[in-house]
Amino acid sequence: MKMSDNRKLKLSFHGKIIDHLGIQMYQSPIASIAELISNAWDADATEVNIQLPTDMSIDPKIIIQDNGIGMTFDECQNKYLNVGYNKREASGKSSTDNGRPLMGRKGIGKFAGFGIAKNIKIETVSKETGERTVFNLDLETIRKGDTYVNTDPLEMDVEEYNEPDPNRVNEHGMIITLSNLTFDRAPSIEVFKRGISRRFTFNSRKDDFIIKINGIEVEQDYDSANIEFSFPRDYTLEEKPENIRIEEGFAVENISDSHQIRWEINFYKDTIQEQGVQGIAVYAHKKLAQSPFMFNLTGGLPSQTGPEYMSGIVIANFVDELPEDVISPERQRLNWSHRDLKLLEQWGQEKIKELLKLWKKRRQEEREKLIEEKIEGFGSRLGRFPPHEREVIKKALKKLAELPKLDETQFIDMGEAILTSWEGGRLKALIEKMAGVRDMTEKQLLNILLEANVLTALHTAEAVKTKLDAIHGLRERIEKRELENAVRDYIAKNPWLISPKWETFIVERSLNHIMRQALQISEIENLDDWRGRVDLILSSGESLLVLEFMRPGLKIDRDHLSRFEDYINSIRASLESQTGLHFKSEQVYGYLIADRIDDTNPALRKRIEQDEKEKMYTLEWGTLLSQAESQWKEFLDVLIDRSPEDERLQTFKTK
């Protein structure tokens, strides 16, 4: 077939290519503005000021201003508006006039603003000529359907142009205004500062480059207070690899004859929760090239939890100096299939494994040191046990120290629980089992604790069942009219029968004279209805519990209630007047208990309600026993329901 000599193929591009160069690659304010900061660096600026909107309701804008070299009108045309202009290839240089390594390479970062705005206004003054040029880039104009599918230039809107003027040279730099923003919520200044700081490794003094956001200087986001171990700083002489040297806190080493890297890797005291911090980030020429990751490791780590504590940076300038461009346009990832990057990937994987092994060892040493310090505080308690038992407890505590997910507080709490359980004679077999497990995992500890919970629940269930039996015993005594001393002594031994919160109360005999005086004031002892009653005084700390049991067959009436009120208030008055006593009048609780309450008297019911506010309670024996029984049965049912498969607990189920 004969070829036609006048046929030619032409390369055309679509205006919607901006969607790919700006919108799809830079969809967050941080990513977009980081690219514009890079351009300011390449323009030898010493300061970049970013103004973020704090109110999105009225025409919000983002303004990025730098004091770089700016551009002439021709440079605006031939460089800035030349899609894909590669300044390194065009100039044949990889650094600026001031010696800075160039960050730009692809010639598309200038469109990053379209990721968050529909209009970009450029105002630039050339340091060389003093020319001032102002023009607009409008997204909708650039990507007008199919009208711009050729190689003909698209005319831009030049808003203003001023001829060269030496007097204007000192105003050199660029102001970029992003308007018609595509997001609705005002950016958080603090979040924005952290995000920008993590995109770069600038040292403001050393690099003579300052970034300010709404007037606040961006500093390196470095939470040094929470760092537990830092490498290479924390290498011992024996651990430090021979092939590295340390400069300004960074390890410097060669991964090949031509590729050198610098790195610092830290381990935090607690797991890293903040997104974008966990893992190792790779930087090239002071700019992020690979967001934090674990060098594509998928398993075989010395510690599976260690990466959750690890954060660091690797400075590998060579990745931005290779003939092929291996950095993604948005500078979030590297092309790890590239042969030169395979060396870096292999180094990273080996370094992570090496440091995780050291971290695990360091953390265990710290935990064991903590154990020894904690055990010293329990010296008198441990001294009560034979040497063999002390060793068992220590071994169990050391097993806890090997679990990296236990923070310091959890570790101390569990250590104290082990000592307390052993002292109480409980869970000895489980603690011995824990001490004997080699390389205990979190799962093994969980299984041991689950079994401990069941045994503890069994112990508690037995105690609750005993309490229910005691309630049944009291009910029998009441039904048999066995009031007198038998009931008093029974409740004195089991004060929780009144309420679970009274369990710590004991019989109080030091206030007998106050009680006798109160009985005289209330005239209780002189009235027939009160003869044969039983009284009981219990105490705990600064609190008093005063119990009055009416003799069988009586129904509480208004007079009974008045006498009881006088009795309790007299006790309170005596306590207030005798300041040397440690009991507090406001913590005196009174209970009047009888067979029945006269529920036919509305005034009495109202008065009973009022007395409750004054911590004076009136109860029928049946109600008291039913409440106590119900409370402990509910507690027992909860214990049983937590371990439905344990047959031992199911035997305690109540009917």
Residue 653 inside a domain? The answer is: no
What is the count of structural domains for the chain? 4
Co-location of 191 and 259 in the same domain: no
Residue 344 inside a domain? The answer is: no
Q: Name the residue range of residue 56's domain.
A: 17-217
End-to-end CA distance of the chain: 99
Residue 539 inside a domain? The answer is: yes
Co-location of 150 and 189 in the same domain: yes
Residue 345 inside a domain? The answer is: no
Co-location of 433 and 523 in the same domain: no
Looking at residue 127, its pLDDT comes to: 96
Co-location of 400 and 317 in the same domain: no
Question: Mean pLDDT lowest for which of 2-11, 443-452, 625-634?
Answer: 2-11
Residue 651 inside a domain? The answer is: no
Co-location of 437 and 500 in the same domain: no
Does residue 48 carry a pLDDT above 70?
yes
- Report residue 498's pLDDT band, with 50, 70 and 90 as the boundaries: low
Distance CA 418, CA 412 (A): 10
Co-location of 486 and 446 in the same domain: no
Co-location of 251 and 312 in the same domain: yes
Share of the chain above pLDDT 70, in %: 75
Boundary-marking domain end, from 164, 189, 217: 217
Boundary-marking domain end, from 425, 459, 493: 459
What are the backbone dihedrals phi and psi of residue 252, each rounded to the nearest 5 degrees, phi first?
-115, 125
Question: Mean pLDDT lowest for which of 29-43, 242-256, 286-300, 364-378?
Answer: 364-378
Amino acid found at 6: N
Does residue 484 carry a pLDDT above 60?
no
Looking at residue 456, its pLDDT comes to: 55
Long-range contacts from 132-140, C-beta under 8 angstroms, 24+ separation: 132/160, 132/161, 132/162, 132/165, 132/168, 132/171, 133/71, 133/72, 133/73, 133/76, 133/158, 133/160, 133/161, 133/162, 134/158, 134/159, 134/160, 134/161, 135/76, 135/159, 139/18, 139/114
Distance CA 239, CA 44 (A): 42
Co-location of 232 and 97 in the same domain: no
Residue 643 inside a domain? The answer is: no
Specify the CATH number for the domain of residue 21: 3.30.565.10
Co-location of 420 and 482 in the same domain: no
Residue 644 inside a domain? The answer is: no
Co-location of 446 and 573 in the same domain: no
Report the predicted TM-score, pTM, of the whole model to 2 decimal places: 0.59
| Higher-confidence position of 51 and 416 | 51
Does residue 148 carry a pLDDT above 80?
no
Amino acid found at 475: R
| Higher-confidence position of 518 and 487 | 518
Boundary-marking domain end, from 423, 444, 459: 459
Co-location of 474 and 408 in the same domain: no
| Higher-confidence position of 145 and 214 | 214
Co-location of 211 and 242 in the same domain: no
Residue 7 inside a domain? The answer is: no
Distance CA 137, CA 114 (A): 9
- DSSP state string for 539-605: EETTEEEEEEEPPTT-EE-HHHHHHHHHHHHHHHHHHHH-TTSS--GGGEEEEEEESEE-TT-HHHH
DSSP H helices, 378-407, are 379-382, 387-401
